[in-house]
Amino acid sequence: MEVFFLGTGAGMPAKLRNVTSIALKLLEERGTIWLFDCGEATQHQVLHTSIKPRRIEKIFITHLHGDHIYGLPGLLSSRSFQGGESEVTLYGPKGLKDYVEISLSTSQTYLKYSLKIIEIEEGVIFEDDAFIVEAKLLEHGIPSYGYRIIEKDRPGTLLADKLLKAGINPGPIYKKIKNGEPIELENGEIIESARFLGPKQKGRIIAILGDTRYCDAAIQLALDADLLVHEATFSSGEESLAYEYFHSTTVQAAKVAEKAGVRKLCLTHISSRYDRTDWMRLVEEARESFPVTVIAEDFKEIHLPLR
């Protein structure tokens, strides 16, 4: 599981930072990629990576400001041209369906794959046997959501040596044991799979937030997360400006991370007023409150190991 930053700037594209888009690479877990926001030129950024658009399974939009959605019609269209045939599901605020359907209709774009658009409200918006995604409204000028991605705990490692000692030879039965199913042996004995499994592997948690002021919803989304991706449009000392424009400072992002007990904070959505020489200062401002802080850059990747 990796978080890969395709765009990390605020408001409009800049030479060093494109506008917002984040890829959650779940290639080992499910063979797919989830995208969070799709700012202008996201598909151009993808060209410089190993990401295959046909692997994009879900796209989560935080809010409908242009720097988070203007790249969406182009990406969806190109995915069709590049051989993408599997279904894509879009999640986002009310108005997303109109925006996408009108854009594709007006440009007479035909997609070779099924596109499902879900306009979300707060709560669990997706769940399967491996992941849960929750959404909460943040504080921004228009409805802006944050997402909490929860990986469900995995079964423990199969204790093959112990199985062999118990006279249980390899075969389809091992898969059933791995899945935690009770097993009936040939002699009629019922065994509990838990006897032959190591401790469960704790699932990982990621919080990816849209644009927001400092707020309680951000803390709730980030509770005990392995990684919090939080906007830091402004530097320390600019709290009044951040509040006026519905954004956060570096120190406010660190405060959320500290209160939520996260393991790592990554600052993103960096204003173009700060050039490369300022970036380390922004990190240090946050580290005064939360030491395990990094700053996102375009094409930066963060690996999330199992706990």
Q: What is the pTM of this model?
A: 0.90
Q: Which residue numbers belong to the known binding site for Zn(2+)?
A: 63, 65, 67-68, 140, 211, 269
Strand ranges inside the chain, DSSP E: 2-7, 21-26, 32-36, 56-60, 88-92, 115-119, 123-127, 131-137, 145-151, 183-184, 190-191, 205-209, 227-231, 265-268, 293-295, 301-303
| Nearby residues of 83 by Cβ (< 8 Å), 6 or more positions away | 54
**Amino acid found at 135:** A
Q: Which residue numbers belong to the known binding site?
A: 63, 65, 67-68, 140, 211, 269
Amino acid 170: pLDDT: 82
| Interval 282-299 mean pLDDT | 98
Q: 25-34 pLDDT, tens per residue?
A: 999 999 999 9
* Segment among 72-81, 175-184, 199-208, 211-220 with least mean pLDDT: 175-184
Active-site residue flag, 67: yes
The domains found in the chain, sorted by start residue, are 2-154+201-301 (3.60.15.10), 160-196 (no CATH)
The active-site residue, picked from 37, 67, 278, 298, is 67
Q: 133-153 pLDDT, tens per residue?
A: 999 999 999 999 999 999 999
Amino acid 183: pLDDT: 76
